[in-house]
Amino acid sequence: MKKAAALLLTLIALGGALGAQQQGAEALVDECAAYLAAFFQGRPDARVAVVALDDRAGLGDSGLQKLYQMLVARLEANRTIHFADLLVAVADGRAEFNLDRARELDFLVELRLVRSLDKVGLGLTVFSRLQDRVVALKYLERAIPAAERDLLQARSFAFAAMGFAKLLEFEAREGLMDIQSLPAADGTMQYYLYYPDEIVIYQAREAGLEKRFQFKLTWSRPYYPTRHPEGRLLLFRSGADLVLTAGGNFAPYSLVLTFRDGVWQEAGRVDFVPFRFVTLNGIPCLVGARWEEGRNFLKERIFFQPYGPTQPAGEGLMQKPVCAAMALDIAAADGQLQAVHAIDREYSYRMYGADLAESTPLPGKKGGALAALGGKWLALSDYRRSTDRLFFCDIRDGGLRPVYEAAVAGEVRFLAAGAWHDAPGFWAGVRQRDEDGGRLLVQFWGKANE
């Protein structure tokens, strides 16, 4: 008890210190927000966005992003203006914005942070699109002490207990396409690693995985050899059966296997690749998509197939249009379809609601791979080689709010929602290149406090 009290006191003290340390940055942001509020006072319903943000004060990318987020919080709370958050990413001291929507705006705000002796200066320019000229200029400055700078520069994901952190990393054989997990009969978590020709099952150990067994997948013609194998594995329970479906871009069908008498037995096939098992209007359904045979993108259809012990195989297949996608996932919570998230062939993020009507938040947001964790989180990789990034976005309210960001050495090939021990999170297949050709790393990014 004494110990707990001491810890609490330390936290309170630290919290107080942190609060004090952030005063400089907050004050600068407050002043900026106040100036903008006053400027837009006489211009109700003005559509405003920050379209440029440069750091010449040495705050670092994290510091720049935090300052921006503080400003956004204040501007979004301002009811007289319509503020649009167009931030896509911050890199190399410069923020990147989605400017596809710039035409819909009335005022564009440019911000520049500069160093002024021991202070940080903020240069602010407001450009009116209608008048095609700069309509306001303002310079503000505040002292931001070194300790506060350190705090600004500490990335959110540095706090593993709060954000997503890399909890596990191991090297895998080339060709790995997906990972899914399911508790075994004894309660231990089993991890299914899906390759085009086999599934290898591992069991969690304290700080790693231990191989349990593997089984071959037998495909038949037509078979489409591919340079870039992609596929999805789905594990679920249907009645008393444990069911596994596996498909990919190399076959026009997916295998459906059930676990009986200690072995996986083929129980049928479906003509698409199931991503989720959900209930629609009280009917259990496999929901999925179909890859273009032999290629690396998915066709512009979502398929729904009623599935159950009494359901005749192949009957009742329905399809709905979506965009052709480089990556796609279906968010479901409590067995109910929430949304379809996709990265289209132009690498733009797209979202479809439960009714499959498009309602893309953050239009212009780019991505490479993605995966949805229930209806809560969406992990999205950047679309760059060598120095990829992961964005963890909150999708609980049907939007897309980037919350955490992590740098990844290599390129993210696939993302899959899962769990490591008790921590929910995402599996990431990361390809690293080197002189010998490279290697495939599997990382688990988890959120321990959920």
Partner 1 sequence: MSRNARRLLAALTLPALALAGAIKPHYGGEIVVRLNEPSSFRLNTASYSNLILYSLIYENFFFLAPDGQISSNIFQEYRYDAAARTLLLTPRENLSFSNGKPLTAKNIQVSLKVFLSSDLFAASRLSKVVKNVRLNGEQVAVELLADRPDIVSLLTAPELVVLAEDEQSFSGLFYPQEWEKNQHLILRANPYYAGGRPYLDRVRVTFGDSPAPDLFLAAPGQFKESCLELDSGIYQNLYLCFLQPDIGQNTKIALFSLLKRFNEASGGRYRELSSLTSDDESPVAIRIKTLSPQKTAAILKTSEIRLYALSSLSFLEKDLTAFLKATNLTIETQFIDNSEFMAFLDSAAIKYVLVDRLFQRKAPPEEKLSRILKESSFNRFNAQYLRMLSELDEARFSNSPELLTEQIARISEAIVNDGFLFPLFQRNYSLYIRRSWPTLETDYYGRPLLQRVSQAHD
- Which parts of this chain interact with partner 1 (CB under 8 A)? 51-52, 88, 96-100, 102, 108, 110, 125, 127, 132-134, 219-228, 292-297, 326, 346-347, 364, 366, 368, 381, 383-385, 388, 411-413
Read out DSSP for 271-285? SSEEEEEEEETTEEE
CA 375 – CA 82 distance, rounded (Å): 27
CB 33 → partner 1: shortest distance, Å? 22
CB 344 → partner 1: shortest distance, Å? 12
- Structure tokens given for 41: 């006072």
Q: Please confirm whether the linkage preceding 309 is cis (ω < 30° from 0).
A: no
CB 218 → partner 1: shortest distance, Å? 9
33 vs 430 by CB, closer to partner 1: 430
CB 224 → partner 1: shortest distance, Å? 6
Q: Do the beta carbons of residue 207 and residue 197 sit within 8 Å? A: no
| Residue whose entry in the numeric block shows the structure tokens 């089984």 | 215
Helix, strand or coil, per DSSP, at residue 128: strand
57 vs 369 by CB, closer to partner 1: 369
CB 212 → partner 1: shortest distance, Å? 25
Backbone angles phi, psi at 298, to 5 degrees: -95, 145
212 vs 433 by CB, closer to partner 1: 433
Q: How many CA atoms lie within 13 A of 42 on its CB side?
A: 1
CB 199 → partner 1: shortest distance, Å? 17
3 vs 133 by CB, closer to partner 1: 133
112 vs 376 by CB, closer to partner 1: 112
By CB atoms closer than 10 A (0-12, 13-18, 19+), residue 296 is: middle
301 vs 431 by CB, closer to partner 1: 431
Q: Do the beta carbons of residue 370 and residue 381 sit within 8 Å? A: yes
Which sign does the torsion angle of CA 270, 272, 182, 197 carry?
Answer: positive
Nearest to 148 by CA among 257, 229, 53, 67: 67
CB 85 → partner 1: shortest distance, Å? 16
Q: Which long-range contacts (CB under 8 A, 24 or more apart) does 134-142 make?
A: 135/107, 136/39, 138/32, 138/35, 140/28, 140/31, 140/32, 140/35, 141/28, 141/116, 142/24, 142/25, 142/27, 142/28, 142/31
CB 123 → partner 1: shortest distance, Å? 14
Supply the DSSP symbol for 15: H
SS (H, E, C) 408-447: EEEEEEEEEEEEECCEEEEEEEEEECCCCCCEEEEEEEEC
CB 55 → partner 1: shortest distance, Å? 16
350 vs 447 by CB, closer to partner 1: 350
35 vs 219 by CB, closer to partner 1: 219
Q: Do the beta carbons of residue 66 and residue 56 sit within 8 Å? A: no
CB 208 → partner 1: shortest distance, Å? 28
24 vs 368 by CB, closer to partner 1: 368
CA 24 – CA 229 distance, rounded (Å): 51
CB 356 → partner 1: shortest distance, Å? 24
Q: Do the beta carbons of residue 344 and residue 324 sit within 8 Å? A: yes
**Cα angle for residues 144, 67, 55 (degrees, 5° grid):** 75
100 vs 150 by CB, closer to partner 1: 100
CA 21 – CA 36 distance, rounded (Å): 25
320 vs 384 by CB, closer to partner 1: 384
